[in-house]
Chain A
Amino acid sequence: ELKVEQNPLFLSMQEGKNYTIYCNYSTTSDRLYWYRQDPGKSLESLFVLLSNGAVKQEGRLMASLDTKARLSTLHITAAVHDLSATYFCAVDYLSGTYKYIFGTGTRLKVLA
């Protein structure tokens, strides 16, 4: 069964601290996406990682991709309250056509 698993599922952290969210996937894919979702809102694209070793950074967030390990990380540096949200990774894979699977999500709460 194809799976995209994230850990942790829930994360409560203090402002100013660093932490990493992990995304493991079970299918062959060379492209991985990170999204953010605020409560009751839709999804906002954060990063698209296009190849093995890709690294992208935006503000306090940095994402990386290791296609050999089938692992992506989302690193949070010096967290601030505004980063509180649920973060999803997603992969696409070829099965006739390109299909899309989202991860389980990581609910992040940054405490002031």
Chain B
Amino acid sequence: EAEVAQSPRYKITEKSQAVAFWCDPISGHATLYWYRQILGQGPELLVQFQDESVVDDSQLPKDRFSAERLKGVDSTLKIQPAELGDSAMYLCASSTGRRNIQYFGAGTRLSVL
């Protein structure tokens, strides 16, 4: 069964350092999402791609976060510099189109010290 791949699974970093997360969606899925989930809360959408284009990044803290999906396949989310408040699970999801079922990856748990 096809899955959304994410790496790394865990990342520990010190504040002010740069971190990057990678996501490979299910083959053929045009829509890709990055979410942040703080412990005990629901996921919060950070950015949504349709193919290689950003269709929504209204919740992305653009002063420190960036996301790209250059060839419309895999994607990278970067934080620079990381802050203590960025500690969370970062989830990637993909779907065949907007408004369709989203399939989530296992996530990257980030701890900022």
The segment from A14-22, A59-67, A69-77, A94-102 found at the interface with B is A94-102
| A25: B residues at CB distance < 8 A | none
| A88: B residues at CB distance < 8 A | 42-43
A98 to B97 Cα, complex, angstroms: 11
A70 to B64 Cα, complex, angstroms: 36
The answer on a CB contact under 8 Å between B42 and A103 is yes
B44 CB → nearest A CB, Å: 7
Does residue B45 face the partner (Cβ distance < 8 Å to A)? yes
The answer on a CB contact under 8 Å between A97 and B42 is no
Interface string of B78-113 (1 = CB under 8 A from A): 000000000000010100001101111111000000
**Which residue of chain B lies nearest to A107 when distances are taken between CB atoms in the complex?**
B40
Number of interface residues of B (CB under 8 A): 22
Given A31-B99, A45-B101; A102-B43 close (CB under 8 Å): yes
Given A42-B91, A42-B104; A102-B48 close (CB under 8 Å): no
A93 CB → nearest B CB, Å: 11
B residues near A (Cβ < 8 Å) are 33, 40-45, 48, 55-56, 58, 91, 93, 98-99, 101-107
A-B contact pairs, 14 of them (CB 8 A): A42-B107, A43-B104, A44-B104, A45-B102, A88-B42, A88-B43, A97-B48, A97-B55, A97-B56, A99-B56, A102-B42, A103-B42, A104-B41, A104-B42
